[in-house]
Structure 1
């Protein structure tokens, strides 16, 4: 218990000021060093990503959008629905502003992670691409790179045990709204997860290709109905967000007041938990894609953070703030999203939230489970990884049966802090390589970016 307490204390300390310095400051440095690529080339990035949804699949190849959707499935989770209201409750409406700031910086961080992931990825024994921080961190140097790479893979692989177990409980608990037994629900979820993960990335991507767009559209549509029902409040919401970001917020409803520092702290933490920029956890999904250049797939890193945080998290925040439920007394922060949906949909709101939270969490479980399998393969080989992958559904079933995930949460933040530290230090010191790739991609005559622009101009001229 002493070790667990130390890990918990370390996690509590790290997810305060240190996370702002490392991820916020690190993201700002990367953005400035690379010349604000997520802003200068935002339109191009969106054209390269959203435009790929209907691209044809090639037999035996993973589409760039499929790799991105698997990564997005891992990033989009309960934090988008529950985490944002928690940030508002503890940091005030101003926390939303800092979520946006960390997301804008996070787009560049994720851009760098994906570019490095593609550059350093390798083919495994089955001929499939695998990669991620565990590989690209080795670019730091023979000795320190090996320590960072192995350390990242080990702690990430272990961190996913409590992470996926706790998320399994969250997914199973959604069926409580229908009177289902949580133990049985957990067992069914564990079996589904095991079956999907046993099929490797092709099976995972076949599920996330359908699940991610479906759940995102479903949730966004429901939240937009709430926003339109309170459309006259939207100007006030924007003023509240920007004003409180720099002045703090007085106590309201059942919630205590929040300082500017609280707004920054909770906005930063929830933002990182939501899009995982700086964590490096979703890079393995991008590394499975067939692409002609690391920077082309890096556009999907920008896309991933934009969809996860700027779109989905913002819509949750607007729904909670515009509906006014955040000022009501007697509501816990975790109930705010449910209260917002119930304010418009009535009793159906609880069912809607239960279904969407389940879809969000389930998609996270299967994609993160695959990423854990990749870490196991990097450390101990392909055969071991195919056995290790079943550890995750086993712990999901156990956690759902006993419903006690306190210990798991105790070690989750601490382990996640370790992998963030390893990854961010590596990305910052390797940013020169990203700049070289960026210069090559945007400046090579007749190839990559310039070829895309020329093709676009040709299509315009032929219309």
Structure 2
């Protein structure tokens, strides 16, 4: 067992090391250039498309609204990484790590856009009549029979990684937060989580989408409101916080307080790694959710999908980072959720840690829901829709042991498989980039002017399986 643990530690260091980070960022930058930096130029337009996606009667074929699809994708990405992950990056890499998270998001918007465009372009209709898509279908239908093995690789990694990083690890984080803040026994939290998960997941994508559509906006707004209180309390420190972030993005941080110091490379590495972990740009997961969304055009879905990266990192992660820095606890020597809780307590003594624990619990619970759909579609790709109901039941049952057991090794394995998902996805993005560029040009030739309505042309024709 010790040898296996050491092997996965070595493999994890490799797949989340400089080569993988370079590949993910390099692919995103390449796509940004090929697209003429459209994702950055169309941020406001993207928000307008999100608004239009909620208007009844405008959508095309799909099981849920494009807005519900975005919320489902956000439910999986806005999770513990936005609270504990950001704190860990700053605790190790210093304030400059937040700057490199921003850079990762701006590059990652192009990656997320491309993933969603391909997922919708090459989606299929399964034997149940539901729309399915994602990297496995983009590879299968976009690259042809010679590349089907690569689609299988993605589905295997995604199907296995979900049980760890999208289920048991999240349940463990919720149980720990409830125990530390409120003294609730882990088995009680585990039982409650199992029942709540089953109530949602057993209903499939329509129920997941309906819950995500209501819960995700509420939890994001609630969290932003809490951070707004912190920023109001320490308003005089905000300019200094931004100055600190920009300075230490390009200059090393000396040891201070409980902080041991950090080089520019460490700030860059931790910021980029945690940014990718949080927004999942490059992993291909968002396309699985967006492919179920009702849409008439892959580019329209892509414009909505890319905003998930902006919301996750530029808005939510920035909230956590600023709260930690302005409160002055960033160099305390604490890390993870404990550091974030210290920031909340500094502004709201006696109540801050409870608000943080509640936010962490809701964030992690929605991640369980989003990843349930990702895992389900990976296994359905491999073995057909007959696996869906058994998978949903198994996914629900896996929550309880996740809440009560020690999961250090499970986290390590799942985190490694999570990174390995990126390789097939990035290969397909690079090889199919001409398709992405062509579809984008065609869309904006007809719909790109200011105030353009939601596309109402002919809907895409998914493949019947």
TM-score bin (small chain):
over 0.9
Q: CA deviation at 1:302?
A: 2.0
Give yes or no for contact 1:139–1:145 (8 Å, CA) kept in 2.
Answer: no
Closer, same or farther in 2 for the Cα pair 1:328/1:304, shift >3 Å?
same
Give yes or no for contact 2:122–2:142 (8 Å, CA) kept in 1.
Answer: no
2:319 matched to 1:320? Answer: no
What is the match of residue 461 of structure 1?
none
Pairing 1:228-239 to 2, within 5 Å after superposition: 228-239=232-243
Give yes or no for contact 1:5–1:410 (8 Å, CA) kept in 2.
Answer: no
SS in 2 for 1:371: helix
Give yes or no for contact 1:12–1:413 (8 Å, CA) kept in 2.
Answer: no
Equivalent in 221, 225, 228 of residue 217 of structure 1: 221
What is the match of residue 463 of structure 2?
none
Pairing 1:350-369 to 2, within 5 Å after superposition: 350-369=353-372
CA deviations on 1:162-201 (whole Å, 9 max, x unpaired) are: 1111111111222212222101211221222122111010
What is the match of residue 47 of structure 1?
48
Q: CA deviation at 1:333?
A: 4.2
What is the match of residue 248 of structure 2?
244
2:455 matched to 1:453? Answer: no
Give yes or no for contact 2:143–2:428 (8 Å, CA) kept in 1.
Answer: no
Closer, same or farther in 2 for the Cα pair 1:455/1:316, shift >3 Å?
closer
Give the Cα–Cα distance (whole angstroms) in 1 for the partners of residues 450 and 41 of structure 2.
Answer: 18
Pairing 1:53-72 to 2, within 5 Å after superposition: 53=54, 61-72=63-74
Give the Cα–Cα distance (whole angstroms) in 2 for the partners of residues 196 and 148 of structure 1.
Answer: 31
Q: CA deviation at 1:344?
A: 1.5
Pairing 1:401-412 to 2, within 5 Å after superposition: 401=404, 403-412=405-414
SS in 2 for 1:335: helix
Output the TM-score relative to the length of structure 1: 0.93
SS in 1 for 2:215: helix
CA deviations on 1:45-86 (whole Å, 9 max, x unpaired) are: 121114545657989852111111100111100111111111
Give the Cα–Cα distance (whole angstroms) in 2 for the partners of residues 341 and 57 of structure 1.
Answer: 42
Pairing 1:280-359 to 2, within 5 Å after superposition: 280-328=284-332, 331-359=334-362
Give the Cα–Cα distance (whole angstroms) in 2 for the partners of residues 186 and 26 of structure 1.
Answer: 39
Give yes or no for contact 1:72–1:304 (8 Å, CA) kept in 2.
Answer: yes
Q: CA deviation at 1:388?
A: 1.6
What is the match of residue 16 of structure 2?
15
Give the Cα–Cα distance (whole angstroms) in 1 for the partners of residues 224 and 292 of structure 2.
Answer: 28
Q: CA deviation at 1:400?
A: 2.0
Give yes or no for contact 2:174–2:403 (8 Å, CA) kept in 1.
Answer: no
Give the Cα–Cα distance (whole angstroms) in 1 for the partners of residues 191 and 426 of structure 2.
Answer: 36
What is the match of residue 272 of structure 2?
268
CA deviations on 1:24-57 (whole Å, 9 max, x unpaired) are: 1111111101111112222211211145456579
Segments of structure 1 that go 5 or more residues without pairing to the other structure are 457-463
Structure with the bigger percentage of helix: 1
Q: CA deviation at 1:140?
A: 5.6
Aligned residues: 451
What is the match of residue 38 of structure 1?
39
Q: CA deviation at 1:452?
A: 5.1
Q: CA deviation at 1:394?
A: 1.9
Segments of structure 2 that go 5 or more residues without pairing to the other structure are 456-465
2:205 matched to 1:201? Answer: yes
What is the match of residue 460 of structure 1?
none
What is the match of residue 182 of structure 1?
186
Closer, same or farther in 2 for the Cα pair 1:162/1:453, shift >3 Å?
closer
Give yes or no for contact 1:197–1:369 (8 Å, CA) kept in 2.
Answer: yes
CA deviations on 1:331-359 (whole Å, 9 max, x unpaired) are: 34431110111112111111101111111
Give yes or no for contact 1:230–1:322 (8 Å, CA) kept in 2.
Answer: yes
Closer, same or farther in 2 for the Cα pair 1:337/1:48, shift >3 Å?
same
Closer, same or farther in 2 for the Cα pair 1:7/1:443, shift >3 Å?
same
Give yes or no for contact 2:168–2:398 (8 Å, CA) kept in 1.
Answer: yes
CA deviations on 1:77-127 (whole Å, 9 max, x unpaired) are: 011111111111111111111000000000010000000000011112221
Closer, same or farther in 2 for the Cα pair 1:45/1:405, shift >3 Å?
same
Give the Cα–Cα distance (whole angstroms) in 2 for the partners of residues 378 and 103 of structure 1.
Answer: 29
2:393 matched to 1:390? Answer: yes
Give yes or no for contact 2:62–2:131 (8 Å, CA) kept in 1.
Answer: no
CA deviations on 1:366-387 (whole Å, 9 max, x unpaired) are: 1111111111111111111221
SS in 1 for 2:421: helix
What is the match of residue 459 of structure 1?
none
Q: Could you tell which deviates more after superposition, 60-69 or 365-374?
A: 60-69
Give the Cα–Cα distance (whole angstroms) in 1 for the partners of residues 244 and 177 of structure 2.
Answer: 32
CA deviations on 1:306-355 (whole Å, 9 max, x unpaired) are: 110000001111111011011335x3443111011111211111110111
